[in-house]
Chain A
Amino acid sequence: MIATGWTLRRTGSLVERNALIYRRSLTPVLSSIVEPVLYLLSIGIGVGALVGKVAGVDVRYAAYVAPGILATTAMNAAFNQTCFAVFTRMKTDHSYDAIVPTPLSVADIALGEVLSAVISGLFASIGFVLVMLVLGLVVSPDILLAIPGTLLVGYAFAAGGLAVTTYMRDFSDFQFTQLVMLPMFLFATTFYPLTVYPHWLRPLIEILPLYQCIEILREPALGIFHWDILVAVIYLAVFGSLALALATRRLSRQLLA
């Protein structure tokens, strides 16, 4: 194929372009925080008043749920960007038709879009952590370790979203992605621990990428550390890299027909 390999400089130039566009308005970042904050208030604090504490964790329910919702925040901010924003650039704006004739390779474009989405996920995550702080839901300074964790969450879902986008025929196809994203949000231990499920069901939950995301954010947020966090780190790095490779391959075929 014609375009192979990427360089930091070329990839960076696409990130710079996206940053110029996004800095025009705070709305996308704010709107990606609003929904999770509503969940935090209604379920974390509202329902939490009825729930009490989660067994084995010595914090109020809202503080337990918050890192789970933080994972979702990073996930959706990154995923939506490589889905809707990239799809719009491909199909409506034809932005890439002007980019492929420059020295940028398709690998540069794919990675540049993923990194831009990771940065958006990071901003949304920082915003959400600030809300947690205001609501008194930050229980350990170790939450600072969760911030780099959101980069990994963003990477996995930005790359996954980009791969999904290469299969979409039109905007209505994205409704199928919601059929996966919403149940994953509800069931990947965002609101309760894995031990709620019967033993036979647990591996099915553990295999979900959002479960692994919650793994790497919840423990530091609660000031706990287990070695199994490394499994989640490796899982997300591999998941993201495979998705990125797939997306790059398919984008090459679509952009360099």
Chain B
Amino acid sequence: MSDRLLVEARGLTKTYPARNGTPPFHAVKGIDFELARGEAFGFLGPNGAGKSSTMRMLAAISPVSSGSLSVLGLDPAGDGPEIRARIGVVPQDDCLDRELTVRENLYVYGRYFGLKKQMINERIVGLLAFAQLEEKADAQVEMLSGGMRRRLTIARSLINEPEILLLDEPTTGLDPQARHVLWERLYRLKHDGVTLIITTHYMDEAEQLCDRLVVMDGGKIVAVGSPRELIETNITREVLELRFPVNAHAQIGERIRDAALGERTEVLPDRVAVYADDGEEALAQVHAMSLEPITALVRRATLEDVFLKLTGRSLID
């Protein structure tokens, strides 16, 4: 493997063994990807896509079932402790020590990495500033808001100055304002040259943070590229979203589909989506059919639309 590549996966598979009655489960079904130093790389997919399973294999805490995986040029099967010493992990749940203070959480984590007390205390100063938690340094974690806990979890994962930072759904469950603060912090890390691997089921998050991403569904990769490439190659520039009265919805939806407006029409349970490079023009055509939608919205196509097209399902159920 070339030395620019930090991670290389070929035919990577995760199969959870059968357990009292349940058959073996194929969570990751042979995926290929690679990652260069300094990149922000994303796994976008709905719940159950196999994102966390992939992340756990990358962190050398879940054995690879088949295929090959190299992380930092090392083999997770044999060099687990060395890999883990050089990466940072933000698990899907915060898993903080709630009984301890913010500072103690950082301190304890540094000790796991064998860092000397003095070095940890030096790093804590910078990490508290990074996480904007200086005022909360001696507060018990129990007392923190969700956003603060998430920032602390990220600060904690940086205590060993990792070369790769793995973030599993970093903003799930946070309110919009807390998400923006967090994105801004992650942006800063990226700017400082930390390689980021992020999983998310939010397309806006993937668009905001990732230079390159894979779209995962049912344990497989269904598309690879930058957010822009994925949209350009898979979907039109704009989307026209129409809502009609519930009882007429299906029938009108069918009429619009038959009229073949734009490139493609999706009749979703709650709305009709017309994919067209010019949404306004498509709307004019709808009006020309003397249809009166309750609401009509023209917006830019997003990764959500890409996902819908590739898998026939929404990202968030």
Task: Decide if B104 is an interface residue (CB 8 Å cutoff).
Answer: yes
Scan residues 1-38 of chain A and give those whose CB is less than 8 A from a CB of chain B. Answer: 1-3, 9-10, 13-14, 16-17, 20-21, 24
Contact assessment for B112 and A21 in the assembled complex, using a CB-CB cutoff below 8 Å: no
Contact assessment for B111 and A17 in the assembled complex, using a CB-CB cutoff below 8 Å: yes
Q: Which of A92-100, A142-150, A199-207, A237-245 lies at the binding interface?
A: A92-100
B63 partner residues in chain A, CB cutoff 8 A: 1-2, 256
Chain B residues in contact with chain A, CB under 8 A? 16, 59-63, 76-77, 80-81, 84-85, 87, 89, 91, 93-100, 104, 108-109, 111-114, 153, 156, 166
Task: Decide if A257 is an interface residue (CB 8 Å cutoff).
Answer: yes
Closest to B80 in A: A2
CA distance A27 to B59 in the complex (A): 38
Given contacts A2-B63, A101-B61, A101-B84, contact A94 B108 (CB under 8 A): no
Contact assessment for B80 and A102 in the assembled complex, using a CB-CB cutoff below 8 Å: no
Contact assessment for B98 and A256 in the assembled complex, using a CB-CB cutoff below 8 Å: no
Interface residues of chain B: helix, strand, loop or mixed (majority): loop
User: What's the least CB distance linking A255 to chain B, in Å?
Assistant: 8
B112 partner residues in chain A, CB cutoff 8 A: 10, 13-14, 99, 102-104
Contact assessment for B97 and A17 in the assembled complex, using a CB-CB cutoff below 8 Å: yes
A3 partner residues in chain B, CB cutoff 8 A: 80-81
| Interface-central residue, B60, B77, B87, by most chain A CB under 10 Å | B60
Contact of B114 (CB < 8 Å), options: A13, A96, A100: A13
Chain A residues in contact with chain B, CB under 8 A? 1-3, 9-10, 13-14, 16-17, 20-21, 24, 93-105, 255-257
A10 partner residues in chain B, CB cutoff 8 A: 112, 114
User: What's the least CB distance linking B271 to chain A, in Å?
Assistant: 38
CA distance A197 to B303 in the complex (A): 77
Given contacts A20-B104, A103-B112, A256-B61, contact A2 B16 (CB under 8 A): no
Contact assessment for B61 and A103 in the assembled complex, using a CB-CB cutoff below 8 Å: no
User: What's the least CB distance linking B316 to chain A, in Å?
Assistant: 23
Contact of A98 (CB < 8 Å), options: B81, B85, B95, B99: B95
B97 partner residues in chain A, CB cutoff 8 A: 17, 21, 95
A99 partner residues in chain B, CB cutoff 8 A: 112
Closest to B60 in A: A2
Contact of A17 (CB < 8 Å), options: B62, B89, B108: B108
A100 partner residues in chain B, CB cutoff 8 A: 61
- Which 7 residue pairs of A and B lie closest in terms of their CB atoms, listed nearest first? A101-B89, A98-B95, A102-B112, A13-B111, A17-B108, A2-B80, A103-B81
User: What's the least CB distance linking B210 to chain A, in Å?
Assistant: 21
B98 partner residues in chain A, CB cutoff 8 A: 93
CA distance A17 to B77 in the complex (A): 28
| Interface-central residue, A20, A98, A105, by most chain B CB under 10 Å | A98
Contact assessment for B100 and A20 in the assembled complex, using a CB-CB cutoff below 8 Å: yes
User: What's the least CB distance linking A122 to chain B, in Å?
Assistant: 21
CA distance A105 to B63 in the complex (A): 14
Closest to A108 in B: B112
Closest to A102 in B: B112
Closest to A105 in B: B81
17 A-B contacts (beta carbon < 8 Å): A1-B63, A2-B77, A10-B112, A20-B100, A21-B99, A95-B95, A97-B91, A98-B95, A98-B96, A98-B156, A101-B87, A102-B84, A102-B112, A103-B84, A103-B113, A103-B114, A105-B81
Contact of B62 (CB < 8 Å), options: A21, A98, A257: A257
| Interface-central residue, A1, A3, A100, by most chain B CB under 10 Å | A100
Contact assessment for B62 and A102 in the assembled complex, using a CB-CB cutoff below 8 Å: no
Contact assessment for B93 and A94 in the assembled complex, using a CB-CB cutoff below 8 Å: yes
A256 partner residues in chain B, CB cutoff 8 A: 61-63
Closest to B96 in A: A98
User: What's the least CB distance linking A7 to chain B, in Å?
Assistant: 9
Contact assessment for A20 and B80 in the assembled complex, using a CB-CB cutoff below 8 Å: no
CA distance A10 to B81 in the complex (A): 11
| Interface-central residue, B61, B100, B109, B153, by most chain A CB under 10 Å | B61
A96 partner residues in chain B, CB cutoff 8 A: 95
User: What's the least CB distance linking A128 to chain B, in Å?
Assistant: 26
Other than the given A10-B114, A100-B61, A257-B16, 7 more pairs (CB < 8 A) read A1-B63, A2-B76, A10-B112, A21-B99, A93-B98, A97-B95, A103-B84
Contact assessment for B100 and A21 in the assembled complex, using a CB-CB cutoff below 8 Å: yes
CA distance A98 to B100 in the complex (A): 15
Contact assessment for B59 and A101 in the assembled complex, using a CB-CB cutoff below 8 Å: yes
Contact assessment for B108 and A13 in the assembled complex, using a CB-CB cutoff below 8 Å: yes
CA distance A51 to B62 in the complex (A): 60
B60 partner residues in chain A, CB cutoff 8 A: 2
| Interface-central residue, B91, B94, B100, B111, by most chain A CB under 10 Å | B111
Closest to A24 in B: B99
CA distance A126 to B113 in the complex (A): 33
Contact assessment for A97 and B93 in the assembled complex, using a CB-CB cutoff below 8 Å: yes
User: What's the least CB distance linking A118 to chain B, in Å?
Assistant: 19
User: What's the least CB distance linking B141 to chain A, in Å?
Assistant: 11
| Interface-central residue, B16, B95, B99, by most chain A CB under 10 Å | B95
